[in-house]
Structure 1
Amino acid sequence: SVRWLVKNKQNAKAEKILTKIGGVDYAKSEIAAIQKTVSKEDVKVRFRDLLEPKIVKVLLLGFFLAILQQWCGMNVTFYYAADIFQAAGYNIQQMMLNIVVIGTIMVLSVALTVVIVDKVGRKKLMLLGTASMAVIYGIIGLLFFNGINGVPIIIFTLLNVAAYSLTLAPIVWVILSEIFPNRIRGAAMSLSAVVLWIGNFSLTFTFPAIKEYLGWANNFWLYGVICLSGFFILYFILPETKNKSLEQIEQELIN
């Protein structure tokens, strides 16, 4: 990569690549920006570096994205698919087929994300995901509330899987890899991953109790409210990182 070339004192090669992309002036300005951030990367990251007010702001954004990706509730569908489909009136053979279909839709949706993420933008996809999942959870809750089982449950569950796999599932990781300053990216990504898996554990561990206490309909409505809340929070605090270099993103978020 260009950043690796600059870090390893191969500026001529880096400038040649960047010149092809945006011209001579663009290449020089980008190399200057990269040199400025790369010079800080060799400094060992200390825990107190993560407590700087400007860093904490971005770190909290990363933590929020990690928690939202889990507490949007989709992993409940993956981990407890058999229970959900059984409650919807399916037998074991039908449940196994539905689970295979879920996996297939996930793969196809993520593949589509690879194609559109740089065209549509990270923020738009995150907003699309949280909004569509909130609506779908509301509909699934209504279906359970009114005792409507079978095909309608499957259709909206698969739509929810597609919405999640197209947006929150892959895009959160893309954003996490972009928003942290170069010098603390490794440590910040590691902490965000820890928070994400804590969210995963807490979601999975609490689902049976929440389902027993609230019932199927209220459980899905709860996840719908979380997604809707996530939509509004992301609308106001999430920056768009599409078509921006890591140096530009750092400049906007930190400086």
Structure 2
Amino acid sequence: MVHPSETASKAPIWAALHDPGVKRALIVGIGIQMLQQFSGINGVMYYTPQILEEAGVEVLLSDLGIGTESASFLISAFTTLLMLPSIAIAMRLMDVSGRRTLLLTTIPVLILSLVVLVLANVLNMGTVPHAVISTICVVLYFCCFVMGYGPIPNILCSEIFPTRVRGLCIAICALVYWICDIIVTYTLPVMLTSIGLAGIFGIYAIVCVISWIFVFLKVPETKGMPLEVITEFFAVGARQAAVDKNE
């Protein structure tokens, strides 16, 4: 049975989403979750063995008598192990340099890694250089992703919303995240068939460029900031945008 008091308490929560400051914060939360998914983490993660196989990584481990498939999985496992210290470094840097700074410094490395992967798949540079370059790029991509673009969007979403609507806004951002994850997962095979790995990585690189611009223009630094200051930041930004629109 729903009591009138419960219904009355739910209505203002949804109404609060129309507040200009909340709306602006929600755009940032949704935007960064969408861009994170479309920046290519699932594509690189799912197709790491294939990327390394096509790069000919078996030449790097041929002296050990390891075949192509085993070599690609071995390097994938090694990459995963390297992600662990990267996460530890990120935990330290997040409270030293800040969330925004960490994003602005790691996203360019993602862009560089993806662009080099595109070039490695397009240019004929020889088996050994191709294998070495592709392996380095995959390792760099994963390590920098888990240092910045992996954890920070969720941290930001827990910090930028006012207390009264935080649960609802985080739920909306999580819903967008999983919808985008499903889209990326199910479109990858189609894209792989139509434009190949080079085309996919090119698209991911473009999304990472857009991500950097989005973070630079829209995402505030939240390190050590009280909730009231963050809320006021979005409220002032919304008011300024309204003034600029009316002029």
TM range (shorter): 0.7 to 0.9
Please list the CA deviations of residues 89-127 of structure 1 after superposition, one character each: whole Å capped at 9, or x if unmatched: 241211221221121122221111111111111111111
Equivalent runs, 1:60-71 vs 2, <5 Å: 60-71=27-38
Equivalent runs, 1:186-225 vs 2, <5 Å: 186-225=167-206
Give the aligned partner of residue 14 of structure 2: 47
Give the aligned partner of residue 155 of structure 2: 174
Q: Output the CA distance in 1 between the equivalents of 2:235 and 2:181.
A: 29
Q: Does the CA contact (< 8 Å) of 2:99 and 2:152 recur in 1?
A: yes
Gaps of at least 5 residues in structure 1 are: 1-42
Equivalent of 1:103 in 64, 67, 80: 80
Cα deviation for residue 61 of structure 1 reads 0.8
Q: Output the CA distance in 2 between the equivalents of 1:193 and 1:107.
A: 24
SS at match of 1:169: coil
1:82 partner amino acid: P
Equivalent of 2:100 in 123, 137, 140: 123
1:211 partner amino acid: L
Q: Output the CA distance in 1 between the equivalents of 2:206 and 2:175.
A: 24
Q: Output the CA distance in 2 between the equivalents of 1:117 and 1:247.
A: 20
1:135 partner amino acid: L
Cα deviation for residue 80 of structure 1 reads 2.2
Cα deviation for residue 208 of structure 1 reads 1.6
Q: Output the CA distance in 2 between the equivalents of 1:116 and 1:110.
A: 10
Equivalent of 1:232 in 213, 231, 239: 213
Give the % identical residues.
Answer: 27
Give aligned pairs, total: 213
Please list the CA deviations of residues 140-183 of structure 1 after superposition, one character each: whole Å capped at 9, or x if unmatched: 10011014432211111101111111110011111111111111
SS at match of 2:110: helix
TM normalised by structure 2 equals 0.81
- Asked if 1:74 is matched to 2:74, the reply is no
Cα deviation for residue 225 of structure 1 reads 0.9
Q: Output the CA distance in 2 between the equivalents of 1:96 and 1:226.
A: 27
SS at match of 1:178: coil
Q: Output the CA distance in 1 between the equivalents of 2:133 and 2:201.
A: 15
Cα deviation for residue 187 of structure 1 reads 0.9
Cα deviation for residue 196 of structure 1 reads 0.8
Give the aligned partner of residue 12 of structure 1: none
Give the aligned partner of residue 241 of structure 1: 222
SS at match of 1:235: helix
Higher relative contact order (CA 8 A, sep 6+): 2
Which aligned runs of 4 or more in structure 1 are off by greater than 6 angstroms?
none
Cα deviation for residue 64 of structure 1 reads 0.6
